[in-house]
Every structure is written in C-alpha cells, then in structure tokens.
Structure 1
Amino acid sequence: MSNSQEPTSTQAIANNSEHIAASESPLSQYQPMEDVASDVSMNISPGIDEDLKETAKANLVNLKNKYSIVYGHYLAYQKVNSDSENTRNAFAVYKDAEKQYLDAKDALAIFTSIHEPIKMHGSLFFKH
C-alpha cells in the first residue's frame, strides 16, 4: 500500500463519525442523568414507610423464632453426640439462621435510622 491511501481511509472514517446524528447513537434512547433524576420522587410516603417497618419487624420475629428453634435442635444433637454428622449439620443450620437473624436486625436498624427525622441539638449552634 502507498502512504497516500492511508490518510484517505483515516479521513473517511473521521468524516463518517462526524456525520452520525445524535438520534442514531446507541445511547440516544437514554436520558441524561439530570433529566432522569427530576422524574424520580425522592420521598417515600409515610404509609409505605410504616408498612415496610412492620413487614421488617414481622420478618425479624420469624427469623428470631427460626434461630431459637434450630439452636435448640443443635443443643439437643450436641447433648447426644457432639461429634456426630447430625450435630455438625445442626451447627451449620444454626449458624446460617443466626446470620440471617443478625443481618435482618441490622437492616431494620439501618432502615429505621434512615427514616427517623433529623434531630437538631441546640448545643451545636453557637452564638457569636
């Protein structure tokens, strides 16, 4: 190939890129983030907030009950034979239930703290 052909092909590619209309771009169907953000409501209605809290609390109670039951099974198996396969399986189930319970407890605490009103303390403000 001669050197005179290379700039022509490069120039043709550059010219084609310039002629692609914005509507032909693969990303043209998406709105810019500021447009999307203006369409999204950032407030959760109080009813939904309370419903979610109640559901999370009920879930926490169920997980706590499950945790207590499987812990009891683990203790029963351990009392009979602490080295048995059943005891090891019961321990694994107990630890899984414990993790689920603690994760749900942490999630509820975070959810509750996010939706609590911000408390302003008078001692934070200083008079000049």
Structure 2
Amino acid sequence: MAEQIEAAALIEAVAGFLAEVEGTLSGRRAFHAKVAQNALAIVARELAQQPRDAERAALAGFLGADSRADAGLDALRAELCGRLRAGQLTAETPGLLEALQVAVMAKVAVDNPRYATFKRLSGGG
C-alpha cells in the first residue's frame, strides 16, 4: 500500500514549483503566481496552527461552553453575537476582550503574520 502524502508536503511542493517558475513569468501570470504562493502559505499556516480550534476554545471558555461537546464554532459565534446584540455583553464584561483577542490573534497569525500590530502584540517585533 502506498504511503499517504501529507497535505503540508503537497503544499510545499506546489509553492516550490511556483517560486521556481515565477522568475520566468511576467505581467499578469507572475502576479497570479505570487498570489497563489501567498494563498498556499496561508493554507500551510492554517493546517499547522488550527486557528479555528483556538477561537473555539477561547469562545467556549468565555461563554462557559467547555463541557458542551456540540458547541461548534459557528454556534459559539452566533451565541456571542446574540448576547452582544441583546446588550448582555459589553466591552466591560470580564474576559470578553481577552477571548476576542485570542481568537483574532490566532486568525491573524495565519492570515498575515507580518502585520505590524500582530507582531507587536505577540512579542514578535
């Protein structure tokens, strides 16, 4: 039986190929090759860092849903938004801003880890 290739290895191979051919391209094709490389880098970071899991844990901890196995991320987001709209939660609610910061930082670490504010807040610059 053939060994299964890891998704990260496939992403790395395609990104390497794009980097190799990018120098031979010009104009629109070179731009699209760079966009594809950036997209692959985001996917690789997402697979490695699992930001949805970090967001789910932060929101579940804040909302007290740790013990609810069925509390998926979409349900937790909906609950949080509903409670914010209803005025049950405000910026002064203990733990809210901290939970939101954990969730946002996990996502930005994947989407744009070079973002200056992210680097400052995460101690990376």
Same topology, TM > 0.5: no
Q: Compare CA radii of gyration and give the structure with the larger one.
A: 1
The TM-score normalised by the length of structure 2 is 0.32
TM-score by length of 1: 0.31
